[in-house]
Amino acid sequence: MELYIDTANIDEIREAHDMGVLDGVTTNPSLIAKEGVDYAKRLGEICEVVKGPVSAEVLALDFEGMMAEGRERAKIADNIVVKLPSTVAGVKACKAMSDEGIRTNLTLCFQPLQALMVAKAGAFLVSPFIGRLDDIAHDGMEVIHQIRTIYDTYGYQTKVLAASIRHTKHMVECALAGADVATVPFSVITKMMNHPLTDSGLEKFVADYNKAFG
Ligand code: G3P
């Protein structure tokens, strides 16, 4: 499973990249707003650090606007993936960009038919939002399973990118469900290597050794 970081914070991106296991980055307008930086400038900075796919979202809601913004974002670097909404206009822009050779990530996907449509339109990635479905008492992980089954049944190449991940249990479930990619906040990435028995085990190894050999 590929691991992306879901942030626009350049320090977090550098730190995750330094771990050597980071495959890509996802950003969105809310994450950029949180940083208070120019979106295009920050995307350029991110692409200098991470050579894997970097998702850059458009703000337009109409087809022409998405195309104009998407083409601009794609010029920033070769590894930019244009993030489009899972709407009728978004699927149309997805098809047009795929035909132009621009990779896309169809975001705000909440049900399997959106994923089916964007795969038909040639999306590079689809982003089902697990946490936001769980927030409203649905089962976010069930959507990952449904999309996985549909894509495997018909041989669609679109990668399933599990998004809106809130905790490590989501990560375990995504890996078991066969998500191709998971995009996660920095706080979750660091917790993926945590276990209290690892810490106590290390303490005991060191203590035993020091007791025997000073
Ligand atoms: O990648 C999508 C993600 O940023 C949404 O996460 O926590 O805002 O639902 P969240």
Interatomic CA distance for residues 206 and 57, integer angstroms? 48
Q: Where are the beta strands (DSSP E) in 91-157?
A: 104-109, 125-128
State residue 214's pLDDT score.
85
Cα 156 to chain centroid distance, Å, stands at 19
Ligand 1: centre distance to CA 66 (Å) = 21
Concerning whether 211 is annotated as a catalytic residue, the answer is no
Nearest-CA residue for ligand 1 atom 6 is: 164
Using CB distances shorter than 6 Å, the residues near ligand 1 are 6, 26, 28, 127, 129, 131-132, 163-164, 183
Burial of 25 (0-12, 13-18, 19+ CB in 10 A): buried
CA distances from 36 to 32, 41, 109 (A): 6, 11, 26
DSSP 77: -
- Helix, strand, or coil (residue 51): coil
Q: Which atom of ligand 1 is the closest one to the Cα of 164?
A: 6
Interatomic CA distance for residues 112 and 121, integer angstroms? 14
Given the residues 34, 75, 83, 211, select the one marked as catalytic: 83
Nearest-CA residue for ligand 1 atom 4 is: 164
Interatomic CA distance for residues 114 and 125, integer angstroms? 12
Nearest-CA residue for ligand 1 atom 8 is: 164
Strands 24-26 and 104-109, by their bridges, are unpaired
Taken as a whole, the chain contains a residue count of 214
pLDDT, tens only, 97-147: 999 999 999 999 999 999 999 999 999 999 999 999 999 999 999 999 999
- Helix, strand, or coil (residue 121): coil
- Give me the residues of the chain with pLDDT under 50, please: none
CA distances from 198 to 31, 171, 190, 202, 203 (A): 33, 19, 14, 6, 9
State residue 184's pLDDT score.
97
Interatomic CA distance for residues 181 and 82, integer angstroms? 16
State residue 171's pLDDT score.
97
Q: Which two tokens stand for residue 51?
A: 């050579």
- Return the best residue to mutate from 31, 132, 187 for the ligand 1 pocket (most ligand atoms within 8 A of CB): 132
